[in-house]
Each structure stands twice: as structure tokens, then as C-alpha cells.
Structure 1
Amino acid sequence: MEVGRDTARRAGTGNEENSGAGQSILPSGLYGVRFRYQGKQASGVVAIHGDSFAGGDSGMAYYGKLTRSGAQLRATVTTLRHTDTGGVALLGSDNLEFVADGQPTGSGAIFSGDAPHTGQRFEFSLTGIRTPGLSI
């Protein structure tokens, strides 16, 4: 994958989108992720390539798939603890699978869904990180 001419316009990632049938749901690149649930926040990073993403924070890893239906996005997410940080996972459990629906923004996307086991709403946002020269 090579850096495109109009990278500054694409979600701030500085990377070129896939073309053709396998086109990215969001431009491939590195994204900051911020989770919000019951007044608490956590943040990390994810790399998106095509319809897949993977990333994590100091205690949790998360990975999954992105799909698009019209303007609506859907993230299917799996989380797992990779390091015992002594804290409780933001959504209340270490190893989860959940889905969240969202909308693209100028620099990424915002998703929301119901937390597994509690049914209470959570939100997470993806914001592109400028990474000139990085090919994902």
C-alpha cells in the first residue's frame, strides 16, 4: 500500500484506502479509541486495515470487524485481558464479544451499543492519528 496524494483529507491517518471490492469501511491507519460507560472513560489505539481492526490499551486487547450498510457502521468487537493491571474492565468483564452501531465522522467514527450483561449504553469513538509514511 502506498501513501496517496490526498492523504490530508482522509481521517487524519495519512494512509491510502483500499480500492475495489475490498474497500475499507474507514481509511486504513492508526486510530485513537476512547470508550465511555457509566461516567468512566478508557482509551487506547487500534489499527484498521480493510474491514478488520486490532489494538488495545495497558490491560486489554480488542479486535474485530467493521461493516457498513448505507451510512450506518457496525463494529463487532472481542476484548481480552493481556496484562493484569489490577483494575476492572470498563464494561465489567475481561473477555467480551459485543456489537456497536455507529456513524462516520470527519476524522473517524462514533459507535454506541448495549453493554453485555448489564444492557446499559456505552459509547466509543475512533479518531484518526496522522501517521505519515505508515502503511497498514
Structure 2
Amino acid sequence: MQIANFQDLLNAAAMQSDAQRLLMVFAGATLPADASAQQKAEFEAGQGGELAPLICVDKLPQELGSFEALTQEADQLLSTEQRWQIVFIASLSGSPGQAPGPEQADKALQAMVESIKAGRIAGFIPFNRQGTPVNLQAH
């Protein structure tokens, strides 16, 4: 199934034979400690930087009403200095009728965070603040 928006993701999760729990890692752009003068200038102009995980959330698909509600919740959890640009989403399968529990989600979220820090994002769907999937490529 092609995921063109957040609702498509919710629909795909609902269609799975095993109950799903969605894992979300909200990430913001940061400047590397060893950034060059050019990288600093680009970052200040709103370009470049690297993505750093800010907060993690896990939810059952039926707990998510809309992407707007999810973004509002994330914004409330973050301090005013922090702003997320991308949310990475993955799905964790349970069994028929039984979604994975919070303990399983915590372990999987930790693994997601470590993967994102290492730049391994191939298994996740990144969405921008407008709820549109984006194609991220390293430069």
C-alpha cells in the first residue's frame, strides 16, 4: 500500500491481521558541535544540520484522531526552545487482537532513537509538520 499521508498510515495499520502499536520519534534539526562556518551559516538560514531525536511517543492507531492532534500533543510536550521538524513512524506488530504492550514499545522506541542517531532511517516513514511523507537523503 502506498502511504501518501498520515491517514493512509492509520488505514494500513488497521488492515493488518496482527494488532499494531505505532511508534513515533519526533526529531529536530541541530547543528553538529564540529560544524564549519559554512554549515553554521546554512543552518542559520534554515538549511542543513542534523536530525536529533527530541521525544518518543507510542500509541495504538485508534488513539490517533488526526495528524493535527498528534502535532499539538508533541508541541505541548516540548519546551518552547525545541521545535520538531520530522516525525519518524514505525509500526510494532502484536498478535491477532492483542497489540504490543508499553514495555515492548519502550524497547522498540529506544532502538528507533539509536537508529536515527546513527542515520539508519530506512525502516521508518518520516512525516513533515504538514503530515506529508518526506524522502530524506544524506548529503
Q: TM-score, normalised by structure 1?
A: 0.24
- Name the structure where strand makes up a greater proportion of residues: 1
Larger-gyration structure (1/2)? 2
- Name the structure where helix makes up a greater proportion of residues: 2
